[in-house]
Amino acid sequence: MPGTELFGEEERKEIMDVLDTGVLFRFNHDAARKGHWKARDLEQEVARFTGAKHALAVSSGSTAVSTMLAACGVGYGDEVIVPPFTYIATVEAVLLAGALPVFAEIDDTLCMSAEAIRKVISPKTKAVLLVHMCGAAADLAGILAVCEEHDVQLIEDSAQALGATYKGKPLGRWGRMGSYSYDFFKITTAGEGGVVITDDQQLWDTAQQFADHGHDHIGDNRGMEQHPILGTNFRISELHAAVGVAQTRKLPHMLERQRAHKAVIQERLSQIEGLAFRRQCDDAGDSATFFHLLLPNEAAARAVVKGLGEQGIGVAYWYDNMFHYIKQWDHLKQLSAPYRMVAHELGLPQDLRTMTFPQSDAVMSRLISFNIRVTWTEAELDAFLTKMEGVVRKVMEGVTV
């Protein structure tokens, strides 16, 4: 991923600022920290980049989702609409909040469709938790219309979509709140980290209190601050934030390179007859961290994965992935948890043990994704594509439609 590819001097410098003072904590210690406020800097960088009024850095993309749910008042028994194709963290955050996940199918945008959301939305729905999978937008126009029709709040788990836009406006800014992940596998990494954004001062205030045991962060005596609410510790450390600051500043470069590489890939692979691609809701706004192929059927997709593997090219086949698609989520279907959850008490609104996802399966079984590298040279990209074309063409020749 781009962040890990570009780790260098800039990250080292930011980390050394923190190590030189020894203030690893994001609040207080004003004199000792000699002007270094890395968590604040990270928040400023993300707010500036996205145009959001407020940003809050937290310990992970997962805790960022939990923070948004809490600030938006999602709790006991509330229904939250989620996709079956996401990182499991999205669903876990809903359960951890004491709320109940309700699944809406995805389509070839790789995200929930407005139609599928419309089918499961009800007066019990407290929020639509939209995931913009793999760095590009869902059908926001359609989905926002459904949310407005039913007066349901939209919350964006944009963990994978920092840098991507829809109609020119960053993903994460379309709902009441949005979040980004800075884990090791995302476009920008802090090792571990996350950022919540919102234009709503009140939501931000609740979020920043919740993520730090209710502290109101007023004054310079931490032990004597007010605590309007209960919360927990989802704080980011200054060391992690330092890395995140340097990485966020590299976003424009990453996007420029990745989009240029995507154009080359698109041009080359479009020549292969019968091969389809992810349907983009805003092609220009794609962060271009991934490229997606839709093969004509599951057998062809599996043959391409195998053929590429033999060429030393690793690709993602999410249909089999244990953490990204509901087909493999037996632990969710059994509600396996180390403690008694609200979901055990109330039961899930959908019977996940018998429920099927025909529309999602029809896309997922045909989908192959690969990372678009930021550091590819022209020659490396050409060599990669030559191998890929060889494998895909061979499989496509054998496909009977």
Ligand X SMILES: *Cc1c(COP(=O)(O)O)cnc(C)c1O
Of the residues 156, 157, 238, 286, which one makes contact with ligand X according to CB under 6 A: 157
Site for ligand X in 21-60 (CB under 6 A): 60
The residue among 185 and 277 lying less far from ligand X, judged by its C-beta, is: 185
Question: Does the footprint of ligand X cover residue 90 (CB under 6 A)?
Answer: yes
Q: In angstroms, what is the minimal distance from the CB of 71 to ligand X? A: 16
- The residue range among 82-90, 228-236, 282-290, 292-300 that interacts with ligand X, by the rule CB under 6 A, is 82-90
Distance of closest approach, residue 63 Cβ to ligand X, in angstroms: 7
Contact window for ligand X (CB under 6 A) among 61-69, 213-221, 293-301, 309-317 = 61-69
Q: Which is nearer to ligand X, 65 or 295 (CB)?
A: 65
Contact with ligand X (CB under 6 A) among 27, 87, 103, 376: 87
Site for ligand X in 193-222 (CB under 6 A): 194
Query: Closer CB to ligand X, residue 236 or residue 395?
Result: 236
Question: Should residue 237 be labelled a site residue for ligand X when binding is judged by CB under 6 A?
Answer: no
Q: Is 160 in the site for ligand X (CB under 6 A)?
A: yes
Binding letters toward ligand X, positions 128-147, x by CB under 6 A: ---x----------------
Of the pair 159, 395, the CB lying nearest ligand X is at 159
Tell me if 289 contacts ligand X by CB under 6 A: no
The CB-of-48 to ligand X minimum distance in angstroms stands at 21
3-state secondary structure the chain: CHHHHCCCHHHHHHHHHHHHHCCCCCCCCCCCCCCCCHHHHHHHHHHHHHCCCEEEEECCHHHHHHHHHHHCCCCCCCEEEECCECCCHHHHHHHHCCCEEEECCECCCCCECHHHHHHHCCCCEEEEEEECHHHCCCCHHHHHHHHHHHCCEEEEECCCCCCCEECCEECCCCCCEEEEECCCCCCCCCCCCEEEEECCHHHHHHHHHHCECCCCCCCCCHHHCCCCCCCCECCCCHHHHHHHHHHHHCHHHHHHHHHHHHHHHHHHHCCCCCCEECCCCCHHHCCCCEEEEECCCHHHHHHHHHHHHHCCCCCECCCCCCCCEHHHCHHHHCCCCCCCCHHHHHCCCCCCCCCCCHHHHHHHCCEEEEECCCCCCHHHHHHHHHHHHHHHHHHHHHCCC
Contact footprint for ligand X (CB under 6 A): 60-62, 65, 86-87, 89-90, 131, 157, 159-160, 181, 183, 194
